[in-house]
Structure 1
Amino acid sequence: MEEQIGELWHKILYKVTDQTFPEAKVELSNIKGRLLIYLRALNKDNGLSIELADKRKHTNKRNWVQKMAGNHRYITACWRNEDSLYLPSDIAVYEDPKLNEDLYFWLAGLSSQIPEDKLSQIDSWISYNQVLCQQTLLQHNGLKTKYHRLVKAHIKNRPDLETLEENDRLAEEIIRDALLNPEKIQQLPETEFDPAHVPLWLYQPQEQNKKSINRDNDNNNQHSKKQKEVKDMARKKAREVESSEETTGLIAVRMENIFSWGEHAAVDRSLDDEDDLDCAETAAKEMDEIAVTNNQRASSSRLKFDLDLPSASEDDIVINDGILLPEWDFKKAELIQDHCRILELQIKNPGSSELPDHLKSTAKKLKNQFQALAPAREWRNGQQDGQEIDIDRWIRFASDKKAGQASADQLYREMRSGKRDMCCTLLADLSLSTDSWLNNDYRIIDVIKDTLLLFGESLQATGDEFSICGFSSRRRDPIRIHQLKKFNEKYNGITRGRINAIKPGYYTRLGAAIRYTTQQLTEQPQGNRLLMILTDGKPNDLDQYEGRYGVEDTRQAILEARRAGLQPFCVTIDTKGNEYLPYLFGSNSYVVIKNPIELPKRLPLLYAQLTSQ
């Protein structure tokens, strides 16, 4: 009974103090697709992705009712960095759902203004946003009406000026004036509490906390850029504590006769050679509160064994010493020459394999369909030898003979099969993520094997020249390329044996793999050259290739392939592929297979559609 009354009392207090409109809530997931298109239409920096923003502590002044209810301590603020725009999972600050939706689009427009040098030097949060608003409204005149409508409705919901003390009232008046007149650059007075949340403005990136930067810049500036972030942290609290070698084990805290247990997990985030975050992510998900401390221990004496790489005796056969390829650094806007090393491999002792029984029926149907793509048999005239006499050549020969200029060469014709001016490389992602299961029945790698087998069976029926490669990577050296079928090899039992022997491993440095296959394809004499990429996720690797860097390098590699006369096309089973693939490949050069089990049947048919013209 006591718990029920307390729960009811809390609900009443929360409802009284809640300043949002849940019935008008607009969720990001429902408009994310449109918002991405809008963001890329406005933004010169088209590589931005949209992510969920976490809650952050906001030390605004609260009344006694809000303190009793325990709310208004956190806000979900919009912010951006060089990789992503971080938006709230839902917005309900307006009574009108249309205004809440417009706020999402305004924030996307505001984030499209890349700060110039003079803008990035502005320390004041309010001045920074005023300059951003000026640039946004100047460059996108159509947003003016939407902006002023949002400001007018927002000011109605801001704190009453009469209830504020002198300094707080002055700060509130300045914020209101800045919203209404962004061209008037203003400064906020120093106050004890933060001003009320301004949802129309961008906030400071959470990873750029000034205190942490000033303290850790000398030791950790280079290392911090290379660490993979632990995701799904929106429900976590964090606090800063002093470093102590003795704070290990379990800590019991007695509060109001209730014991709570917190486990201390020592996770060192300052060292560049700490790449595997699985343990850190698991620990973080299990904790309700995360404590962060600064540790100045040196790492010069650390010794690390890499257990991921197989020994030479167990690894596949290395064909050569490696091929050096460049990589695109989007921050410098230049290609770093000889930055990646491609290692060509062949499966050791693959043996000869027959087509699996569960694929034979599908392969037979596909072969019949693909035979229609093969050019019809045709007569070749003017041959030295042949099945029939070339009548036109013979008449010309008889006339020339009477004139004394006879030449008895090329008087026959022969029936030969036609040949399409087409070649293709299928580049398959063999990263460790392909080891995951689908519906507890199939692994992704098994689906990829079936896809490669049916692809080979189908193209064999057309007579088109093709090659099949698999790739994975572990940093920039090496990028492992498995030669499953070369252009000058026949598709046979050995090829099937190689495909059946492939194993998942490592990561997805897609840009280097695309550059490698581009070189292979450009050496082929055919006029039409197709590069099909089969993957299950975004480009990623252990180093800075995770995130924006990998996306930009992949996009640059695709542009290079197109300039070389290739036609790149991506097939993915990543359900989030529509969020980033249009930026990489364009709107008509990719497809997302929602049901991965259909991939083996769909890929050959996609090839038929792409090459039918």
Structure 2
Amino acid sequence: MEDTVGGWWDVLIRKAAYRGHPRAAVQLADIDKLAPVFFRAMGGAAGLGLRSTVGTEHAGRRSLLERIAGTNTTLELTWSDARSLYLPEKIDLFPDKERNKQLYFWLLALSAEYAALLADTEFAQADWLERNRIATVRCLRAMPGLGQIYALLVREYIPLRGALWDLSAQEQQIEKHIRQTLQNPENPAAAEMTDVVETAAQAGSCSKTRSKTRKKTVGITPVHLWMHPTPPAHAGQAASDESSGRDGENDQHQSEDTRKRRRYRAQKAAPDERQNGPLIVFRAESIFTWDNYLKINRSDEDDGDNDTRPADDMDTLSVARDTKKRASRLRFDLDLPGAEADGTPIGPGILVPEWDFRQQVLLPDYCVIKPMLPHDARPCEIPQHLIRATHRLRRQFQALMPQRSRRFGQVDGQDLDLDRVVRFFTDVKAGQAESNGGLYVDRPRSERSLACLLLADVSLSTEAWVGRGEQASSVINVIRDSLMLFAEALQASGDSFGLYGFSSLRRKEVRFLLLKDFSEPYDATTRGRIAALRPGFYTRIGAAIRHSTRILKEQPAHKRLLLLVTDGKPNDLDHYEGRYGVEDTRQAVIEARQAGLVPFCVTIDREAGDYLPHLFGSHNYVVVHDATRLPHVLTRLYAALSQNG
């Protein structure tokens, strides 16, 4: 009974203490499609992904009810790093839903300007308040249309910061300066500027600090309309990079769950070197909680019972580098495919460059392409379940074959034009013939001059299953069927084509599977190679596209198509994940276009709309939401792309 009443009381007190307006709340998911487009239009880096952040502690004053309920201890603020832009998961600050939505778009615009200004050393070294003031001024100057929205937001936001009389003299001085800066960012207050700004920067650091002149805690609430005063440390990111960052391969499959997209504050911690034997004597009060450092293994996406809900309530995650590598090596070996994924090498490694967006330089001979044949490939015929679709596609694509036309009145040709010959001899008898030219019919072949290279992603993630019930199938099976039907269709059309697959294991082992070279015929051998495809390793798309570009450039065709079929974002065991992999892939696509190719992407990743427009352009990709329809989409897409060949 006590637990029941306590639960009722907790719900009641939390509801009474809550300052937000749930009925007017706007979720980040509500603007998930429009936000990336708006951010890029405002000048933001196109390679940044969009994620929700978590609350960080602040030193602002709380009401009596909030202190009793233990709420309003954290705030979700906006910030960005080299990989992503982090926004509040929900905004319900204002009672008007439209105003909450406008706040989202204001933060997107401010983030774009703020990130651009960070390249300026003087701006980067300025204090928190001055950086936000300058960014606000620059944002309003660059986008005057936002001025009215900003004015409305400030007018309704300032009363929400509370009354000044409840603050100490020092806090009142800081708060007045913040409000003056919000209302008129062009003309900041001049009185005692240095001391006020220094103290305001300390107060805005989202932690309880003490000033040098007074021992009283400074309690100033950070500004919701500004960027985070002290963005979460990059310790977590560094640790992730050091530990090979292998979580990216399956991240796209978890993105539908919003909390998987969160970014936590991180702090470095010393590893716990204590040895835990089978029998442990301990006192109950010494048991660790989630708020203490706890030595655990890296997260395993295969552990379905791994409950991470307690972490969602945490502000800081401690990250330590463990010098003991045995467990990580064991896990690494278990993650890799078996021997059946190893192909048969067919030549020495081929060096290709890679784009480092951080240095803005193309690293020469950085990756090694290893051409291979699929393991244990045996010639075979068309699978029974594809025969009906194959006959249908052959009939459709035979209509695309170059047709012969007849040209009459030619000086030379394959046949005589009998009508012109009779007319000529009649004119000769009448004495009117002037010439005997133009008596032949020619049937020249109307060539389309088109070559197509299809590059299939056969990474580890293609082991995943799609569909339900009897329609369920693994992604790799769908890709095999797609390649088989695609090859049958192109064989019927008479166009030149090549089929390749790829996966990677760091930069020195990008496996490039030869299924059908341009110089080879399409036959049972090709079908056997396609049937022998197995899920490989990881997805270093940039290197695979660059090698495919080299192959396709050598084909004597007027139009050359490069089709990429994939199921996720670029990633690998090393640093090739996040924005690094995205920017390298984008650069590889740009190089392909400069070489005269037409690159196009077909993906089954539902979240591809967040990054594919940056990689291939807004009209050069298609997302297939039902993976089982991939063969149908692929063949129809080729028919459309080849019309102007």
TM bucket normalised to smaller: 0.7 to 0.9
Which residue in 2 is equivalent to 1:422? 450
Deviation at 1:353, TM superposition (A): 1.2
Change (3 A) 1:241 1:221: closer
Higher relative contact order (CA 8 A, sep 6+): 2
Deviation at 1:76, TM superposition (A): 1.1
Change (3 A) 1:75 1:317: same
Change (3 A) 1:5 1:179: same
Which residue in 1 is equivalent to 2:133? 130
* Separation (CA, whole Å) in 2 of partners of 1:254 and 1:235: 32
Query: Structure 1, unaligned stretches of length 5 or more?
Result: 270-275, 400-405
Deviation at 1:350, TM superposition (A): 1.6
Cα deviation per residue 1:151-186 (whole Å; 9 max; x = unaligned)?
Answer: 111001112111112222222212111211223455
Change (3 A) 1:561 1:374: same
Cα deviation per residue 1:41-82 (whole Å; 9 max; x = unaligned)?
Answer: 111522222111122222333343212101011111111112
Which residue in 2 is equivalent to 1:172? 175
Change (3 A) 1:50 1:376: same
Matched, 1:320 2:347: yes
Deviation at 1:205, TM superposition (A): 6.0
Cα deviation per residue 1:254-313 (whole Å; 9 max; x = unaligned)?
Answer: 58xx998999753589xxxxxx9658998683755686265685989x988973678999
Alignment of 1:331-346 (within 5 A): 331-346=358-373
Matched, 1:199 2:224: yes
Specify the code of the residue in structure 2 equivalent to 1:246. R
Which residue in 2 is equivalent to 1:520? 551
Alignment of 1:83-98 (within 5 A): 83-98=83-98
C-alpha contact 1:419 1:463 (8 A) present in aligned 2: no
Alignment of 1:20-419 (within 5 A): 20-43=20-43, 45-113=45-113, 114=116, 115-184=118-187, 187-189=197-199, 190=211, 192-204=217-229, 206-208=231-233, 223=242, 232=260, 234=262, 243-246=271-274, 248=276, 266=295, 285=308, 288=311, 292=318, 294=320, 307=333, 315-379=342-406, 386=414, 415=443, 418-419=446-447
Specify the code of the residue in structure 1 equivalent to 2:75. I
Specify the code of the residue in structure 1 equivalent to 2:226. W
Matched, 1:589 2:620: yes
C-alpha contact 1:472 1:481 (8 A) present in aligned 2: yes
Change (3 A) 1:71 1:261: closer
Change (3 A) 1:605 1:495: same
Deviation at 1:550, TM superposition (A): 0.9
Q: Secondary structure at the match of 2:32?
A: helix
* Separation (CA, whole Å) in 2 of partners of 1:81 and 1:29: 20
Deviation at 1:416, TM superposition (A): 6.6
Cα deviation per residue 1:413-464 (whole Å; 9 max; x = unaligned)?
Answer: 6657543211101111111111101135200010011110110111111100
C-alpha contact 1:248 1:264 (8 A) present in aligned 2: no
C-alpha contact 2:379 2:528 (8 A) present in aligned 1: yes
C-alpha contact 1:24 1:97 (8 A) present in aligned 2: yes
Query: Structure 2, unaligned stretches of length 5 or more?
Result: 200-210, 252-258, 428-434
Identical residues among aligned pairs (%): 36
* Separation (CA, whole Å) in 2 of partners of 1:311 and 1:359: 28
Specify the code of the residue in structure 1 equivalent to 2:485. L
Matched, 1:15 2:12: no
Which residue in 1 is equivalent to 2:594? 563
C-alpha contact 2:570 2:576 (8 A) present in aligned 1: yes
C-alpha contact 2:53 2:263 (8 A) present in aligned 1: no
The more displaced of 373-382 and 360-369 is: 373-382
Alignment of 1:461-540 (within 5 A): 461-540=492-571
* Separation (CA, whole Å) in 2 of partners of 1:507 and 1:128: 40
Cα deviation per residue 1:504-548 (whole Å; 9 max; x = unaligned)?
Answer: 111111111111111111111110111111111111112222011
Q: Secondary structure at the match of 2:86?
A: strand
* Separation (CA, whole Å) in 2 of partners of 1:96 and 1:286: 31
Change (3 A) 1:47 1:396: farther
* Separation (CA, whole Å) in 1 of partners of 2:605 and 2:30: 19
Specify the code of the residue in structure 1 equivalent to 2:636. L
C-alpha contact 2:232 2:264 (8 A) present in aligned 1: no
Which residue in 2 is equivalent to 1:273? none
Which residue in 2 is equivalent to 1:272? none
Which residue in 1 is equivalent to 2:206? none
C-alpha contact 2:44 2:111 (8 A) present in aligned 1: no
C-alpha contact 1:119 1:131 (8 A) present in aligned 2: no
The alignment's C-alpha RMSD in Å is 4.0
Alignment match of 2:476 (pick from 440, 445, 450): 445
Matched, 1:544 2:571: no
The more displaced of 380-389 and 584-593 is: 380-389
C-alpha contact 1:55 1:234 (8 A) present in aligned 2: no
Give the TM-score taking structure 1 as reference length.
Answer: 0.85
Change (3 A) 1:568 1:134: same
The more displaced of 96-105 and 578-587 is: 578-587
Q: Secondary structure at the match of 2:171?
A: helix
* Separation (CA, whole Å) in 2 of partners of 1:564 and 1:27: 43
Deviation at 1:17, TM superposition (A): 1.7
* Separation (CA, whole Å) in 2 of partners of 1:226 and 1:486: 34
Change (3 A) 1:588 1:33: same
* Separation (CA, whole Å) in 2 of partners of 1:221 and 1:599: 34
Change (3 A) 1:380 1:498: farther
C-alpha contact 1:390 1:413 (8 A) present in aligned 2: no
* Separation (CA, whole Å) in 2 of partners of 1:251 and 1:568: 64
Deviation at 1:395, TM superposition (A): 11
Q: Secondary structure at the match of 1:208?
A: coil
* Separation (CA, whole Å) in 1 of partners of 2:9 and 2:303: 38
Change (3 A) 1:30 1:17: same
* Separation (CA, whole Å) in 2 of partners of 1:13 and 1:131: 40
C-alpha contact 1:247 1:264 (8 A) present in aligned 2: no
Change (3 A) 1:310 1:41: closer
* Separation (CA, whole Å) in 2 of partners of 1:348 and 1:296: 37
C-alpha contact 2:337 2:536 (8 A) present in aligned 1: no
Q: Secondary structure at the match of 2:260?
A: coil
Deviation at 1:232, TM superposition (A): 2.5
Change (3 A) 1:427 1:105: same
Change (3 A) 1:383 1:71: farther
C-alpha contact 1:425 1:521 (8 A) present in aligned 2: yes
* Separation (CA, whole Å) in 2 of partners of 1:260 and 1:251: 18
